Amino acid sequence: MSATRTASRRPIPPTIRTSRPAGINVNYKPPATVESIRTGWQHTCQASAIVSGLLAGVAAQLLSFFRSEDVYKRRPTSQGAKDTVLALCYATLLLNVAAMISAFMVIDKMGSLTMNGATIPPPQIGRFYGTHVGLLVKFGGSPNWRYMFWHWLICFYGGVVCLILLVLVFIWLQEPLSIGVVMTGLVGFAIIPSLVFLVMDS
């Protein structure tokens, strides 16, 4: 009798519950709209990675070119102006490399979207009110993707703008005034419409 009471008073060890891994729906397919958005982003990032790589190579070549004092013999140039040219050249190189890395990251994450969506219950929605990034998040994307998209976009456009400004500054330093005025107008015509479209469409 006492042995029974002693056994009943012994503390019961806590039960360790292990979380079961989420099952994978091997027949899962994302909706056509989600698949179209993902494919579009993948193609855009693949093309931008190639462009950023080429621009980074151009910036590396220009860096060695602008380091030479012979390129500034046509007109007197202050040391501050030369440093500005080099700073823009470095910025072009670094921003394009960063854009290329971000593009590869976006491509990699887009490739895992279907796998992520197969591990979660598909949302029962017929109409979605939000951005295309928000729609990707609903179907397996990470909420942090929007920051990665913006990082890639800022680095890509920043690298392009810095390269154009680099050429424009050098033109104003070494070329006649008429050429500088014409090239400034062409730069404005080339950059302003795309920037306005980017801001208004974002």
| Cα–Cα distance for residue pair 39/110, rounded to 1 Å | 8
Angle between helices 145-174 and 177-201 (to 10 degrees): 170
140-165 tens-digit pLDDT: 777 788 888 889 999 999 999 999 99
Per-residue model confidence (pLDDT) at position 16: 42
124-139 tens-digit pLDDT: 666 776 677 777 877 7
pLDDT above 90: percentage of residues in the chain: 38
Contact 28, 117 (CB under 8 A): yes
Per-residue model confidence (pLDDT) at position 118: 77
Q: Is the pLDDT of residue 12 over 90?
A: no
pTM score: 0.76
Q: Is the pLDDT of residue 22 over 70?
A: no
67-120 tens-digit pLDDT: 888 888 888 888 998 999 999 999 999 999 999 999 998 888 887 877 777 777
The pLDDT confidence band at residue 2, using thresholds 50, 70 and 90, is very low
The pLDDT confidence band at residue 9, using thresholds 50, 70 and 90, is low
N- to C-terminal Cα separation, the chain? 78
The pLDDT confidence band at residue 29, using thresholds 50, 70 and 90, is confident
Per-residue model confidence (pLDDT) at position 77: 86
Burial track 8-43 (b if 16+ CB lie within 10 A, e otherwise)? eeeeeeeeeeeeeeeeeeeeeebbeebeebbeebbe
Closest listed residue to residue 59, CA positions, set 20, 26, 27, 99: 99
Q: Is the pLDDT of residue 8 over 60?
A: no
Write down the domain spans for the chain.
Answer: 31-201
| Cα–Cα distance for residue pair 27/24, rounded to 1 Å | 9
| Cα–Cα distance for residue pair 139/73, rounded to 1 Å | 59
Q: Is the pLDDT of residue 14 over 50?
A: no
